[in-house]
């Protein structure tokens, strides 16, 4: 893990200036959650991004998420994280450390460095994520606002050059995100919305594929809720192999092969609608 405070501004390269300008130009647009990540990819290759606010004394909220040339996994990651893992996530503790005096901080973690095994497994390994590069800042009442870029399996790792570029655009990216949240009313909308229930996920699956059997649907909605196979088995009173059998049958009816595709089908559109579309 590495963490460092943003240094004093230095002359930007032409590419960094252009990226920040494009970020600013997209503020308020309905597709900001996608175009912002595409603009960042001109300098720093990332398959997924998310913007969220977390803290020990506040409800965790995700304002924005998107994917770029990679499966949409942010929805499933967030549901597992929001279910309680965020309370054990100390990877952002450095942001509120006295040595940084409230300045934005860049944090870099590989999946193997995530200290809590369940967090590492349910958020990173389960969704094929290998690395996170974040810029985070204190956001009142002990909370932090974090803008996170993720690399997927097969994408390699962030290079030193990419991390240097990220440091150049981090202030502009953070400012653009804050302005977009304020301008579009995302803070109020996300704060007031109830968690997505199993019933809501069930209705989404019914619309997508009404021929799913009851058990196939039960397994899929729990996968969408971020539950592990062991947890699903315990919740439904089944064995883990039986849970996986129902999963395979459901995936066959849906025409998919991987859990990430299930998230993309059912949650990608849902979260895009919540956070921008």
Report pLDDT for 272.
38
For 2-29, write each residue's pLDDT tens digit.
776 766 555 457 899 999 999 999 999 9
Rounded to the nearest angstrom, the gap between the alpha carbon of residue 181 and the centroid of all alpha carbons in its chain is 16
Query: Over 60: is that where the pLDDT of 275 sits?
Result: no
Residues in a beta bridge with 151: 131
For 227-269, write each residue's pLDDT tens digit.
778 878 888 889 999 999 999 999 999 888 887 677 767 654 4
Cβ(136)–Cβ(94) below 8 Å? no
CA 109/CA 89 separation, integer angstroms: 12
Please state whether the predicted TM-score (pTM) of the whole model is above 0.85: no
Cβ(186)–Cβ(65) below 8 Å? no
Average pLDDT of the residues in 144-169: 95
Q: At what angle do helices 14-25 and 160-184 cross, to 10 degrees?
A: 20
Domains of the chain: 2-192 (3.30.450.40), 198-274 (3.40.50.2300)
85-107 exposure pattern, b = at least 16 Cβ within 10 A, e = fewer: bbeebebbebbbeeebeeebbbb
- The contacts of residue 236 (CB under 8 Å, 6+ apart) are 215, 218, 219, 222, 243
Decide: helix, strand or coil at residue 150. strand
Report pLDDT for 33.
93
Torsion angles phi and psi, residue 106, rounded to 5: -95, 130
Average pLDDT of the residues in 177-201: 73
Lowest mean pLDDT of 3-12, 145-154, 213-222, name the range: 3-12
């Amino acid at each position: 893990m590495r963490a460092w405070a943003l240094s004093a501004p230095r002359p930007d390269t032409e590419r960094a200036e252009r990226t920040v300008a494009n970020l600013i130009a997209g503020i308020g647009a309905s597709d900001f959650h996608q175009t912002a990540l595409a603009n960042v990819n001109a300098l720093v290759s990332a398959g997924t991004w998310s913007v969220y606010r977390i803290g020990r004394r506040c409800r965790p909220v995700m304002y924005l998420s998107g994917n770029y040339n990679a499966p949409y996994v942010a929805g499933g990651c967030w549901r597992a994280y929001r279910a309680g893992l965020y309370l054990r996530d100390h990877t952002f503790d450095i942001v509120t450390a006295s040595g940084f005096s409230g300045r934005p901080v860049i944090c870099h973690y590989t999946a193997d460095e995530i200290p809590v095994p369940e967090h590492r497994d349910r958020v990173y390994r389960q969704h094929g994520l290998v690395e996170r590069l974040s810029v985070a800042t204190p956001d009142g009442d002990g909370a932090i606002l974090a803008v996170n870029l993720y690399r997927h399996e097969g994408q390699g790792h962030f290079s030193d050059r990419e991390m240097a570029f990220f440091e150049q655009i981090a202030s502009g990216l953070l400012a653009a995100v804050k302005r977009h949240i304020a301008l579009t009313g995302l803070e109020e909308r996300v704060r007031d919305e109830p968690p997505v229930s199993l019933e809501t996920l069930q209705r989404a699956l019914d619309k997508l594929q009404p021929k799913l059997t009851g058990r196939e649907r039960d397994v899929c909605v729990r996968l969408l809720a971020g539950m592990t196979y062991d947890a699903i088995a315990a919740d439904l009173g089944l064995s883990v192999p039986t849970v996986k059998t129902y999963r395979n049958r459901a995936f066959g009816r849906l025409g998919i092969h991987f859990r990430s595709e299930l998230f993309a089908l059912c949650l990608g559109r849902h979260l895009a609608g919540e956070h921008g579309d």
